[in-house]
Amino acid sequence: MPRDLPPLSDLVDTARVVALPMATRFRGVDVREALLLQGPEGWAEFSPFAEYGDAEASAWLAAAIDDAWMPRPPAVRDAVRVNATVPAVPADRVAAVLARFDGCRTAKVKVAEPGQTLADDVARMRAVREVMGPEGRVRVDANGGWNVDEAERAIHALAEYDLEYAEQPCATVDELTELRRRVKYMGVPIAADESVRKAADPLAVARAGAADLLVVKAQPLGGVRRALQIVAEAGLPAVVSSALDTAVGISMGVALAAALPDLDYGCGLGTGSLFAGDVADYGVVAGSLPVARVTPDAARLDEFAASPDRRDWWIARLERCWAVLEETD
Q: ∠ CA(122), CA(144), CA(168), 5° rounding?
A: 80
Binding residues for Mg(2+): 141, 167, 193
State how far Cα 23 lies from the chain centre: 18
pLDDT-above-70 percentage for the chain: 99
Q: Show the DSSP H helices in 15-98 as ranges.
A: 54-69, 94-98
CB 69 within 8 A of CB 2: yes
Q: Would you place residue 1 in the very low, low, confident or very high pLDDT band (cuts 50, 70, 90)?
A: very low
Q: Is 275 exposed, middle or buried (0-12, 13-18, 19+ CB in 10 A)?
A: buried
Which residues are known to be catalytic?
110, 217
pLDDT of amino acid 319: 98
Burial 241-264 (b: 16+ CB within 10 A, else e): bbbbbbbbbbbbbbbbbbbbeebe
pLDDT of amino acid 27: 76
pLDDT of amino acid 2: 44
pLDDT-above-90 percentage for the chain: 95
Tell me the three state secondary structure of residue 39. strand
pLDDT of amino acid 7: 97
Among 328, 329, 319, smallest CA distance to 12 is for: 319
Tell me the three state secondary structure of residue 96. helix
Domains of the chain: 8-73+298-328 (3.30.390.10), 79-290 (3.20.20.120)
Q: Is 41 exposed, middle or buried (0-12, 13-18, 19+ CB in 10 A)?
A: middle
CB 20 within 8 A of CB 277: yes
Average confidence score pLDDT of the chain: 96
Burial 150-185 (b: 16+ CB within 10 A, else e): bbbebbeebeebebbbbbbbbbbbebbbbbbeebee
Q: Would you place residue 28 in the very low, low, confident or very high pLDDT band (cuts 50, 70, 90)?
A: confident
CB 217 within 8 A of CB 271: no
Taking residues 56-73, report their average pLDDT.
98
pLDDT in tens, 111-159: 999 999 999 999 999 999 999 999 999 999 999 999 999 999 999 999 9
Q: How many residues in total does the chain contain?
A: 329
Taking residues 281-296, report their average pLDDT.
96
Q: CA distances (Å), 199 to each of 3, 81, 143, 204, 217, in order?
A: 23, 27, 14, 8, 13
How far apart are the C-alpha atoms of 8 and 318, rounded to whole Å? 9
**HSE, side-chain direction, 13 A CA sphere, residue 276:** 14
Taking residues 199-213, report their average pLDDT.
94
Binding residues: 141, 167, 193
pLDDT of amino acid 3: 53
pLDDT for 64 beyond 50: yes
